[in-house]
Homo-oligomer: A and B are copies of this chain.
Amino acid sequence: MKTIKAIIRPEKLEDVKAALEEKGYFPMTVTQVKGRGAQKGICLQYRGKQIVVDMIPKTEIEMVVGDDDVRPIIKTIRASARTGKFGDGKIFVSPIELVAAIRNDDEIVSE
């Protein structure tokens, strides 16, 4: 199992959700975060000076999925969240060793 953490533009959340749904991926956890990338946020011009607004609101989507689903999900997120401009976000993938349900005793152990 892997966990995919995608940091996207908040205004793209609906599109991403819809695109994932279409492909059959439902479960996810969403958090409101703020962030900056390598571009250090957004530069505003103000009377000749540059003012950097460095903490931009972003939406973080976390999905724990089977190993084979990682690629299609990344593709789907990219397709639906991309604008081509700085600030589109990043996707991070890391390992999950165990997924346990709370409602019942179901468990999936990653080998």
A43–B17 Cα gap in the complex (Å)? 17
Number of copies: 3
A93-B88 in contact given A35-B29, A40-B26 (Cβ < 8 Å)? no
**A27 at the A/B interface (Cβ < 8 Å)?**
yes
B31 touches A33 (CB 8 A): yes
A82 partner residues in chain B, CB cutoff 8 A: 102-103
Q: Which residue of B lies closest to A77 (CB)?
A: B102
A81 partner residues in chain B, CB cutoff 8 A: 102
A94-B3 in contact given A82-B102, A82-B103, A101-B88 (Cβ < 8 Å)? yes
User: How far, in Å, is A109 (CB) from chain B's closest CB?
Assistant: 9
